[in-house]
Structure 1
Amino acid sequence: MYELRGVTKRYTRGKDTVHALDGVDLTIGDGDRLVIQGPTGGGKSTLLQMLGGLDRPSSGEVVLDGVDLAKLPEARLTRVRSENIGFVFQSFNLIPTLTAQENVETALVPLGVKTKERRERAAEALRSVGLGERLGHLPSEMSGGQQQRVAIARALVKQPKVLLADEPTGNLDEGMRDEIMEVLERMWKEYGLTFIMVTHDSSIARKAPRVATIRKGKISVKENTGG
């Protein structure tokens, strides 16, 4: 699925050059579940952005299904993201003036899905995350955990191959964290997704089959017998 070869990302900060990623090599197979950990500023979110085609490396290759995302024209890269990659973020990123169903439908608009099918697929996606009775609710009328379920439904409604999650439980209490992780793990299994998640939460990392740790732009990966 993914093959990263010599991926480097450099930023200029004043007179200094920061190596957010420094020669990262990483293989992620179809259907893998990988947790990414490391200190703040160590390169975790930068790596996730590379995997999602949201940013390009300074050098190296980010190959997804044989295609180097780093070399794609912007229009084609946008298409790959729209069709193949679902994103879930810590801050939910829901549109406050749209209902839960309308928020989920937004993921299907770039794919040219007709209105009737969009509505049906959005409703089904919300039912799959336990929000079948909340289709017409605005984000302000839902708890944080419910809003994150909407965000998960939005990520999955387009039936992507990859789900990327950046601190998806970071704004939730422990009970909501466990609920959201149960939903994400169930979706991973049911959809056969490749699931890659950044988290500071060691209790989540202990349950993952593989854990990648990034420090100062360098990566190490271990198999987790507890996953």
Structure 2
Amino acid sequence: MYQLTNVTKTYTRGKGTVHALDGIDLTINDGDRLVIQGPTGGGKSTLLQMLGGLDRPSSGAVVLDGTDLAKLPETRLTRFRSETIGFVFQSFNLIPTLTAQENVETALVPLGVKARERRERAAEALISVGLGERLGHLPSEMSGGQQQRVAIARALVKKPKVLLADEPTGNLDEGMRDEIMEVLEQMWREHRLTFVMVTHDSAMAKRAPRLATIRKGKITVTEKAIA
């Protein structure tokens, strides 16, 4: 479970101060599926970075299962993040010279998983997202939707507890967008993940049972956004 308490994040811009997050209180229970929306610059991605331990708040606590991410030393935070949290981004962030299977394996290297097990787990992850026939293909040999499936497999191969997605369908057309959302939702159900997604897409937001709206660093959470 996440428990965010009075989380603030400020940046200095010129002579002024920007409050990207302004006293955020938020609880995300295990297995929740939460979508975060709001205007550009409102704090959506900043909040996701706090949840993922990719950035630290200026003040406040970001606690996941009793561990305050804001207070962990960098080496422990990196390890905790590698073991516990999977990330999917708008840009697929695949290594162009590696095959789909090799790209997925990269998530297991920091965890000390041996080569044979890495290969087996990467193949299983790719099969689970419908890419069993693409293990040896380079990113340039795959469509955008297929590349995002590789990115999802890479996020899930380490068996995280949390999946964080930042505009995961932003680079895809409408047909591919729906396919990728179906994959993400299927993975959420099958792996019993805590799933948090940032999106500008209202159609995607309507599919989630919880909707958080951030404006000027303030958050409002609506329960039961869908039936």
TM-score, normalised via structure 1 length? 0.99
SS in 2 for 1:200: coil
Contact map agreement 2:211 2:225 (CA 8 A) in 1: no
For residue 185 of structure 1, report the CA deviation from its aligned partner: 0.1
Q: Corresponding residue for 2:91?
A: 91
Are 2:32 and 1:32 equivalent residues in the alignment?
yes
Which whole-Å deviations, capped at 9, do the CAs of 1:49-75 have from their partners, x for residues lacking one?
A: 000000000000000001100000000
Distance in 2 (alpha carbons) for counterparts of 1:171 and 1:117: 32
For residue 226 of structure 1, report the CA deviation from its aligned partner: 1.5
Contact map agreement 1:44 1:214 (CA 8 A) in 2: yes
Q: Corresponding residue for 1:53?
A: 53
Q: Which amino acid aligns with 2:4?
A: L
For residue 220 of structure 1, report the CA deviation from its aligned partner: 0.3
Q: Corresponding residue for 1:201?
A: 201
SS in 2 for 1:134: coil
Distance in 1 (alpha carbons) for counterparts of 2:16 and 2:103: 41
Q: Which amino acid aligns with 2:52?
A: G
Q: Corresponding residue for 1:117?
A: 117
Distance in 1 (alpha carbons) for counterparts of 2:95 and 2:199: 24
Distance in 2 (alpha carbons) for counterparts of 1:159 and 1:16: 42
Contact map agreement 2:38 2:214 (CA 8 A) in 1: yes
SS in 2 for 1:158: coil
For residue 225 of structure 1, report the CA deviation from its aligned partner: 4.4
User: How many residue pairs were aligned?
Assistant: 227
TM-score, normalised via structure 2 length? 0.99
Distance in 2 (alpha carbons) for counterparts of 1:224 and 1:91: 30
For residue 37 of structure 1, report the CA deviation from its aligned partner: 0.1
Which whole-Å deviations, capped at 9, do the CAs of 1:6-37 have from their partners, x for residues lacking one?
A: 00000001111000000000000000000000
Q: Which amino acid aligns with 2:185?
A: E
Distance in 1 (alpha carbons) for counterparts of 2:160 and 2:36: 20
Distance in 2 (alpha carbons) for counterparts of 1:113 and 1:219: 39
Structure 1 stretches of 4+ with a deviation exceeding 4 A read none
Q: Corresponding residue for 2:156?
A: 156
SS in 2 for 1:81: helix
Contact map agreement 1:103 1:154 (CA 8 A) in 2: yes
Which whole-Å deviations, capped at 9, do the CAs of 1:128-151 have from their partners, x for residues lacking one?
A: 000000000000000000000000
Contact map agreement 1:206 1:224 (CA 8 A) in 2: no
Q: Unaligned stretches of 5+ in structure 2?
A: none
Q: Corresponding residue for 1:182?
A: 182
Q: What aligned pairs does 1:38-77 form with structure 2 within 5 A after superposition?
A: 38-77=38-77
Distance in 2 (alpha carbons) for counterparts of 1:225 and 1:33: 11
Distance in 2 (alpha carbons) for counterparts of 1:6 and 1:180: 34
SS in 2 for 1:61: strand
For residue 224 of structure 1, report the CA deviation from its aligned partner: 2.6
Q: Percent identity?
A: 86
Distance in 2 (alpha carbons) for counterparts of 1:200 and 1:19: 21
Distance in 1 (alpha carbons) for counterparts of 2:200 and 2:158: 28
SS in 2 for 1:147: helix
Contact map agreement 1:94 1:103 (CA 8 A) in 2: yes
Which whole-Å deviations, capped at 9, do the CAs of 1:159-188 have from their partners, x for residues lacking one?
A: 000000000000000000000000000000
SS in 2 for 1:21: strand
Distance in 1 (alpha carbons) for counterparts of 2:53 and 2:147: 25
Distance in 1 (alpha carbons) for counterparts of 2:182 and 2:36: 18
Q: Which amino acid aligns with 1:204?
A: M
SS in 2 for 1:95: coil
